[in-house]
Chains A and B, each alone.
Chain A
Amino acid sequence: MQIPENWLIHQDATPLNENDPDMLRVHSIETFGTHDGPGIRMVIFAQGCQFRCLYCANPDTWDVKGGTTKSIDEIVQMAIKEKPYFGKNGGVTVSGGEPTLQRSKLLQLFTKLHAHGINTALDSNGKLLNDEVKALLSETDYLLLDVKHFNDDWHHTLTAVSNQSVLKVAEYRESTGKPMWLRYVLVPGYSDQEEYLHQLGAHFKNYLTIEKIEIQPYHLLGAHKWEAMGLEYKLKDIKPPTAEALQKTAAIFKQYFKEVKIN
């Protein structure tokens, strides 16, 4: 089966936010997340995404009708069972897919988690910013904001959409004074141009809420999923960044951010 280029890209995501208010559409849950926010985290991969990143490791999260539905209370119960492992730093992270497509439900989830003293983090691509997202961000202890590229054309090439909303989300988060981490996927030949790395740094250098920037080395571990879905994986010849390339990028970011971490 050959699937068209723009498969699902114009899917209407509103039902995801509005139907079944007590159910979250979930791709999978990883109980031992150690790379998506501080400490040990239960990571919920939310279903549905409207970006089309060339390197996406989870294309099976795109379809807003895919995944399975799980009740929010059930997820809260799972988190409570895991709470002893969270220690001082850990908690729950919602990643994706793009979690803000289910913002009203996540607001409910995060509010309940907070009622149980569980820390919340949201890993978002910054596609959306409206009142519902703002309400969700107010219940979000850590915003992990993916900045895929600073240059809008390149952002388009990489993700099929513009980065303007991403920068707006960052600006909004800064205005709330609540912590945020930036995440930057380093793809050789696509997102490693020094001038744009510097521009990104310069843009954010005065942001007070950014605790750190994480460099995520591009990897090919999701490529097989594209093939399984009948999609063409366009980056198949791109190798993960070398240790030197990572260090070089880190050195550039260090000029602008107080903490740079290779994730």
Chain B
Amino acid sequence: MKTQEKISVPFAEGAWKKAINVKDFVRLNVTPFEGDAQFLTGPTHATLQLWNTCLAAMKLEREQNGCLDIDTETISTITSHAPGFIEKDLEKIVGLQTDALLKRAIKPFGGVRVVEGAAKEKGHLLSYKVKEVFDYVKDHNTAVFSAYDPEILKFRSKGILTGLPDNYARGRIIGDYRRLALYGADALIAAKQADKLAIDGELTEHQIRLREEVSDQIGALQSIKEMGAMYGLDLSRPAENAQEAVQWVYMAYLAAVKEQDGAAMSLGNVSTFLDIFIERDLADDIITEIDAQELIDQFVMKLRVVRHLRPGAYDDIFAGDPTWVTEAIGGHFEDGRTKVTKTSFRFLQTLYNLGPSPEPNLTVLWNNELPEGFKNFCAQVSIDTSSIQYENDDLMRNARGSDDYGIACCVSYQELGKRIQFFGARANLPKSLLLALNAGREENEGTVILKNIPAIKSDVLDYNEVLANFKLAIKEVVRVYCKSMNIIHYMHDKYYYEKAQLAFIDTDPGIDIAYGAAGISIIADSLAAIKYAKVTAVRNELGLTTGFEIEGSYPKYGNDNDNVDVIAQEISEFFFNELNTHKTYKNAKPTMSLLTITSNVMYGKMTGATPDGRLAGEPFAPGANPMHGRDTNGAIASLNSVAKLEYRYAQDGISNTMSMVAKSLGATPTDQTLNLVAVLDGYFAKKGHHLNVNVLNRETLMDAYEHPEKYPQLTIRVSGYAVNFIRLSKSHQLEVIARTFHENM
């Protein structure tokens, strides 16, 4: 790479010059790209050598129970660790979370006991010095439990509410990491200082808290400068060229993942932004295409080695050690231009240059007007790597109001730098239905959970009676769910505030509070069975349901049959409306998701037999997918059923996974690509929200199950994100294999 002597092409100026406004900068300076993938290049030798070092370290990590090393002495902060390198001389983009590759840091403010336990499981002892700190300060976990009540504890321990971020960091917040590259830390500090001065008037609790928060953010920005200096970077000023732009963005993100271990810590939508700097350097002959790709490859490589220390129990909920570094790619501007740039292609190209990978979680914002060349490339990459997911750009942009957004966690729209999200895992709908059928008692042990559910009159189930009881149960579940979420987020703000991320977000942003519901397909089928067939509850000596006998046939969700699909719609609408009846912490706006992340197997294990004929312990379908094997009219009918779930009630996301063998997409590679493009065009025209695409074959998966060592990079998509197949538990691997392959031979 040549060194830069002067910037010959100044950026187009606009509102972004007067205030923090990256959206305006991108809009004015982007070069949309309508071409195809021909221009792309392979990895450089340096990239390959670095990546081989990473692969070797990852192999060792797997061999050591999924954890290479832990620094148990040092509480991780933005500046806690000395600079770390893979191989310093080869790195164009530098920075690791700790001083060594894949060495995990401890972030005990989420919960010191959880960290201690996680370290112990992996054969490490948490330093007494660290433990001692918490003799004097509180962590998030302790604080939440101090405010929980018996009711919440019961809902939690019986698995009606699961995965609540009360013993781990909530994540979900996306800093607008582009700001560091565009403005530099000094300008951001100045803007925050001005914001702080403007917080005045009657000093309410809100105002006081805000002042404290902004002070913390300023402190974080100062620490980020220090961290940069440790790597020899002057982050106080804006990035001056492409390499710096990538490096600055990464440093901002690195600060976030050094300070926090949130469940999901997305990147946002940096590709379109970075392209502006890359295009300028290309035009100035400062870099070539090979250099441009190398920057992106090496950036992505760094994102692939982000690690957090998690307990084993966490892995049961979020299988595969995910970090959800979600990068949104493509989509359209409000003015109708495409946001696809050459760097959108370059990000996808990393899946060839470095091989398939679950992280970063590459998410294509699809709309039917995307350039053909880009659509075809996406389809090709999906077929070759199964590593990307798709979301409906038109649907989200129009419903949510901004074209400048990323994807929080796995599938959730998030305007960048303007709003944030409070994450809240999910409620188990099938268990709620079983409460409705068992007079408020939990189906496994009979513990009374809800007191106001009348006993069902007859074991031959009546639709209206069951529905009325179920709605009562949902009301109660939602009430308890809302209570717990308010406590969690109050405490997280207080004890584990995300100052590094909030430093890159407008002061006092709007907030969405993201609830979730799991098992919608079981609900739809169960209620349809009760309505259209004869369902008899089988009960044990305690009067608890243990199974259901179904006589006659009934329409099943996943076959584009309105009679059953409408039930799924009705229940999601009801659940969402219930959420809206409750007060929220910081006046956050409720949203709801229909997802399971990777927890569908775990949910299944905890849930008794359901009236759709599903046996006790059998897995749920992932996300909003139809139940395995019940979508008998082919993939399109299945997609159409899911597409009927309305986004307005589930703005946090409706996840759908389509798994198939390549052959079932078409006879030739060209057919396969074009047909996948047609599937995506069709699904999103039908207002589907999200689609994972897995193109695999059973043989490969079975072989990977038997011989994991042969498939270190095999990636599959599971409800909203991708995982490394061999890092899933064996039972989860089997579930994935058994799941519908839409074969048509």
Contacts and interface: CB of A to CB of B under 8 A. Distances in A.
Interface stretch (B501-509, B593-601, B629-637, B702-710): B629-637
Interface stretch (B87-95, B208-216, B670-678): B670-678
Contact of A34 (B560, B675, B681, B682): B675
Interface residues of B, number: 28
B635 A32 contact: yes
Contact of B682 (A33, A40, A214): A40
Given A39-B678, A85-B681, A261 B667 contact: yes
A35 B634 contact: no
B83 interface: no
B681 A32 contact: no
Interface string B634-649: 1111111000000000
B744 A30 contact: yes
Interface in A11-42: 28-35, 39-40, 42
Nearest to B632: A28
B668 interface: yes
A63 to B, nearest CB: 20
Nearest to B671: A34
Contacts of A35: 666-667, 744
Contacts of B203: none
A129 B636 CA distance: 33
A32 B682 CA distance: 12
B685 A32 contact: no
Contact of A40 (B638, B679, B745): B679
A31 B674 CA distance: 17
A216 to B, nearest CB: 10
A39 B682 CA distance: 12
A259 to B, nearest CB: 11
B685 A81 contact: no
A178 interface: no
Contact of A85 (B666, B682, B742): B682
Interface in A39-58: 39-40, 42
A221 B638 CA distance: 23
A219 B685 contact: no
A258 B554 CA distance: 49
A263 interface: yes
Interface string A199-235: 0000000000000001000010100000000000000
Nearest to B679: A85
Given A42-B636, A84-B686, A221-B745, A31 B560 contact: yes
Nearest to B681: A87
Interface string B683-725: 1011000000000000000000000000000000000000000
A142 interface: no
A30 B681 contact: no
B581 interface: no
B634 A31 contact: yes
B674 A32 contact: no
Which residue among B634, B635, B677, B686 has the maximum number of chain A CB atoms within 10 Å of its CB?
B634
Interface in B619-634: 633-634
Contacts of A174: none
A29 B682 CA distance: 19
Interface of B is mostly: helix
Interface of A is mostly: mixed
Contacts of A90: 678
B665 interface: yes
B678 A87 contact: yes
A39 B636 CA distance: 13
A87 B664 CA distance: 18
B745 to A, nearest CB: 6
Interface in B77-123: none
Nearest to B680: A85
B665 A31 contact: no
Contacts of B675: 34, 39-40
A263 B640 contact: no
B668 A34 contact: no
A78 interface: yes
Contact of B633 (A30, A84, A214, A261): A30
Interface string A246-263: 000000000000000111
Nearest to A29: B633
A86 interface: yes
A89 interface: yes
A132 interface: no
A42 B664 CA distance: 14
Contact of B635 (A29, A31, A39): A31
Contact of B634 (A30, A214, A263): A30
Contacts of B671: 34
A225 B428 CA distance: 40
Which residue among A30, A31, A86, A219 has the maximum number of chain B CB atoms within 10 Å of its CB?
A31
A73 interface: no
A32 B744 contact: yes
A82 interface: yes
Which residue among A33, A84, A219 has the maximum number of chain B CB atoms within 10 Å of its CB?
A84
Contacts of B665: 34
A81 to B, nearest CB: 6
A261 B636 contact: no
Given A40-B682, A78-B560, A81-B560, A33 B666 contact: no
A35 B681 CA distance: 19
Contacts of B664: 32, 34
Contact of B677 (A42, A78, A87): A87
A82 B666 contact: no
A78 B681 CA distance: 18
B634 A39 contact: no
B678 to A, nearest CB: 4
Nearest to B559: A31
B640 A86 contact: no
Contacts of A84: 681-682, 685-686
Contacts of B640: 31, 81-82
Nearest to B684: A84
B683 A85 contact: yes
Contacts of A42: 636
Contacts of A89: 674, 678
B686 A33 contact: no
Interface string B726-745: 00000000000000001011
A39 B674 contact: yes
A28 B744 CA distance: 13
A31 B681 contact: no
A105 B118 CA distance: 67
A263 B668 CA distance: 8
A221 B665 CA distance: 18
Contacts of A78: 560
Nearest to B664: A34
Interface of B: 560, 633-640, 664-668, 671, 674-675, 677-679, 681-683, 685-686, 742, 744-745
Given A30-B633, A89-B678, 19 more contacts: A29-B634, A30-B744, A31-B560, A31-B636, A32-B744, A33-B634, A34-B667, A39-B674, A81-B560, A82-B637, A82-B640, A84-B682, A84-B686, A85-B636, A85-B639, A85-B678, A86-B682, A87-B674, A219-B745
Interface of A: 28-35, 39-40, 42, 78, 81-82, 84-87, 89-90, 214, 219, 221, 261-263
18 contacts: A28-B633, A29-B634, A30-B634, A32-B744, A33-B634, A35-B667, A40-B675, A78-B560, A81-B640, A82-B636, A82-B637, A82-B640, A85-B639, A85-B679, A85-B683, A87-B677, A87-B678, A87-B681
